[in-house]
Amino acid sequence: MSNQQLLSRITTNSEVMLGKPVIKDTRLTVEYILHLLAQGASIAEILEEYDGLVEADIRACLLFAAQSLESTTFMPLTV
């Protein structure tokens, strides 16, 4: 699946979850899925918990996050 196809699985709508990026046709935000992964949930566990999700949805969240950070400039908070 191409990056473009993966990213098409992520949508934003000001009427859904305050406009945060979500997995298409769900109310699951990219942020929420990333938090689950960061806390140690496996892709299999997430898919088991949320009917209708597929692995491509999780990969789309990771790609969305990676591409969002590409244009971000980071500055050290301390000197």
Is the pLDDT at 79 greater than 80? The verdict is no
Take residue 37 and report the two structure tokens written for it. Answer: 């992964």
The pLDDT, as a whole number, for residue 77 is 80
CATH class of 3-66: mainly alpha
Contact 46, 33 (CB under 8 A): yes
Mean pLDDT in residue range 25-39: 97
pLDDT for residue 35 is more than 70: yes
Name the residue ranges covered by the structural domains of the chain.
3-66
Structural tokens at position 4: 């473009």
pLDDT of 31 over the 70 cut = yes
